[in-house]
Structure 1
């Protein structure tokens, strides 16, 4: 009969923690990788006085002139009241403008300003460098497979 091994006890004097059970889960690895990416992205965007959400909104508005706030909220997968704070910040900084939609006076179309376009393009360059630096050990095929896999997870999550 095999002896039963005792679970390793975490030593309070070290930073080692047994996370073997969690490391069997894809979500755990995704979260740890996201934490690294998010922290580095925050540092990358800081010189532009942007956060991940304000950057995302600015890029989407730049790439989709006339986007309505409701469309932006859906694209960013955030609640509309939470979006208002982001839109207010970008508008206060004169990076975007809100224009009433002529066919629906309750709706606003979002447009990037020239200052917003310039800042966005500078930030996009920095973000691309950030991502390339963090993913430099992954070839294009591996990157494509990872993106496809995450897309499938997202798609499966929206079914339920």
Structure 2
């Protein structure tokens, strides 16, 4: 990160109390809040927020996944996925099919419209990330992604 973006970041951080400036978690929270706000703004054109987008992208990339599996992957509470799935289903973005081995389990499959919308959402969020990370080189972006994954990965996840 160099030039004007670095200067602005340093000036903004300098306004924070020193005790907070020294905490990595403080910087993670500020970056996360900024990202979430702007990501949701970017997704307004698709009429969706980040969580439903994440669910739809998961269904699209893993056709036949169950809602329980989505919850495990995205670290969602099972009760929280119900309204998200209802919203996506009402928009015709996926279909449910009973699992052939266990009728209690519903498998989720994207529709053609769901795949198209997932690509549209991914384009919107990618453009947001490009703006957000414009001050970083590709190597810095890769390193940031690698380090953040180490932080949020739970023990035993490889």
1:159 corresponds to: 155
TM-score scaled by length of structure 2: 0.85
Q: Which runs of 5+ in 1 are unaligned?
A: 1-15
Give the one of 112, 128, 131 matched to 2:129.
131
Question: What's the CA shift for 1:18?
Answer: 4.6
2:108 corresponds to: 110
2:148 corresponds to: 150
Question: In structure 1, the residue corresponding to 2:18 is in which secondary structure?
Answer: coil
Q: 1:26 to 1:46 in 2, by over 3 A?
A: same
What is the root-mean-square deviation of aligned Cα atoms in Å?
1.6
TM-score scaled by length of structure 1: 0.84
Question: What's the CA shift for 1:117?
Answer: 1.2
1:91 corresponds to: 89
2:22 corresponds to: 24
Structure with bigger helix share is 2
Higher RCO (Cα < 8 Å, 6 or more apart): 2
Question: 1:18, 1:56 → 2: CA distance?
Answer: 32
* Superposition pairs of residues 42-61 of structure 1, within 5 angstroms: 42-61=40-59
C-alpha deviations, 1:17-73, integer Å up to 9, x for none?
752211101110011011111111011111111111000001111011111111101
Q: Which runs of 5+ in 2 are unaligned?
A: 1-13
Select the structure of larger CA radius of gyration: 1
Q: 1:132 to 1:66 in 2, by over 3 A?
A: same
